[in-house]
């Protein structure tokens, strides 16, 4: 496939080849790629999508009130299943779920599987907490599955209302993974984001990605942890990587796109000097942060050679149209949690 990138510096074009390869890891379903070819089906309507959202919100309340983890997980799929499962595993007290207000729905007109739609809604983490805006993606991969929540993020504070393009019938427009009308094709958005989160402002991708808490901010916070680790005779590294979870893109009113995708942040801490092969004294283990200890089996021996933490992170980004000369990718929302702790 060939894509045209408008308004991107030459230095950036040189790295797009390998970034496209990484970006392809982001999706096994593709925003506009049908999972069941040749068979036309009736997709969600704005009215039926509202029914799906309301049914989910009601069932989630029942699951939370009854502390029913199995019911809660049965309402989920994709990255949301893993994130919520880890939340239950790491919780030292009953899990509290969000309280949603009335949603705004963005429903693409789909006639094949997978079927999906987005919804934004006011959200409180718990009654009495401040109101944030959540974006949720509901997915139905094939005719044998039921609707489930595939992923969710909270929009950054101060983010303006999303301007998704909607036609006269109330439908949004789903975009293909290789859509070339955008500054960055949806299938490389995550790779460009990762380049900046891993390498910071010096990354060749930095001119195409707006600075912010999930991009340059993620780099700066991890760089600070690395400096602290060095002072404690350990080495800390991090890498934001693509996943096989599906991603989703909708056309915005200005000709750009709203792109939802999931990444894995892998952080590793190792001692500067590894223990001798036949040490006569007990080598102290790597400390596990208190918030992550419940993700480690009680029978697991101390981590003496290194500690690795995988976090599953969902993101929402605004991708400008290819015709925009100064437009950059803007990450406007995130969600997720540590999901796996391992090491030796």
The 10s digit of each residue's pLDDT in 1-32 is: 223 233 344 444 444 444 444 443 333 334 44
pTM of the model: 0.85
User: Which pLDDT value is given to residue 273?
Assistant: 72
Quote the crossing angle between the two packed helices 186-199 and 216-231, to the nearest 10°.
30
Which contiguous run of DSSP H or E holds residue 229? helix 216-231
**Class of residue 94 by CB neighbours under 10 A (exposed 0-12, middle 13-18, buried 19+):** exposed
- Phi then psi for 290, rounded to 5 degrees? -55, -40
In the beta sheet, which residues pair with residue 154?
A: 134, 334
The total of other beta-carbon atoms located within 10 Å of residue 293's CB is 13
Residue with tokens 């697991």: 300
* Summary count for the chain: helices (H), strands (E): 7, 10
pLDDT at 275: 60
Q: What's the full length of the chain, in residues?
A: 344
Q: Where are the beta strands (DSSP E) in the chain?
A: 99-100, 104-106, 115-124, 131-140, 148-155, 234-242, 248-251, 257-271, 307-319, 330-343
| pLDDT 10s digits, 92-151 | 677 878 889 999 999 999 999 999 999 999 998 877 789 999 999 999 999 999 999 999
- Rounded to a whole number of angstroms, the distance between the first and last alpha carbons of the chain is 42
Report yes or no: 316 and 119 within 8 Å, Cβ to Cβ: no
Residue 283 has a pLDDT of: 58
- Confidence at residue 286, expressed as pLDDT on a 0 to 100 scale: 72
- How many CB atoms within 10 Å of residue 159? 16
pLDDT value at position 129?
84
Low pLDDT (below 50) residues in the chain? 1-38
């Amino acid at each position: 496939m060939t894509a045209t990138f408008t308004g991107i510096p030459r230095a950036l074009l040189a790295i797009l080849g390998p970034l496209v390869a990484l970006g392809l890891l982001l999706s096994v379903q593709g925003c506009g790629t049908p999972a069941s070819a040749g068979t036309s089906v009736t997709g969600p309507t704005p009215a039926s999508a509202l029914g799906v959202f309301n049914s989910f919100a009601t069932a989630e309340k029942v699951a939370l009130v009854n502390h029913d983890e199995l019911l809660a997980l049965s309402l989920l799929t994709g990255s949301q299943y893993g994130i919520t499962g880890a939340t239950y595993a790491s919780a030292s007290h009953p899990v509290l779920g969000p309280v949603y207000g009335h949603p705004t729905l963005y429903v693409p007109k789909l006639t094949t599987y997978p079927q999906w739609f987005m919804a934004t809604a006011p959200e409180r983490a718990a009654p009495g907490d401040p109101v944030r805006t959540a974006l949720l993606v509901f997915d139905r991969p094939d005719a044998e599955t039921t609707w489930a929540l595939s992923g969710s993020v909270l929009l950054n504070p101060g983010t303006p209302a999303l301007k998704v393009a909607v036609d006269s019938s109330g439908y949004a427009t789903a975009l293909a993974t290789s859509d070339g009308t955008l500054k960055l094709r949806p299938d490389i958005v995550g790779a460009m984001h990762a380049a900046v989160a891993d390498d910071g402002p010096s990354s060749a991708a930095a001119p195409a990605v707006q600075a912010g808490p999930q991009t340059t901010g993620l780099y700066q916070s991890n760089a600070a942890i690395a400096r602290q680790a060095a002072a404690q005779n350990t080495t800390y590294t991090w890498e934001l990587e693509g996943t096989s979870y599906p991603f989703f893109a909708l056309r915005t009113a200005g000709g750009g796109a709203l792109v939802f995708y999931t990444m894995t942040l892998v952080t590793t801490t190792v001692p500067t000097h590894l223990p001798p092969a036949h040490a006569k004294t007990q080598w102290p283990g790597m400390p596990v942060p208190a918030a992550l200890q419940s993700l480690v089996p009680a029978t697991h021996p101390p981590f003496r050679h290194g500690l690795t933490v995988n976090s599953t992170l969902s993101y929402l980004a605004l991708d400008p149209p290819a015709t925009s000369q100064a437009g950059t990718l803007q990450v406007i929302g995130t969600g997720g949690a540590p999901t796996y702790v391992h090491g030796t």
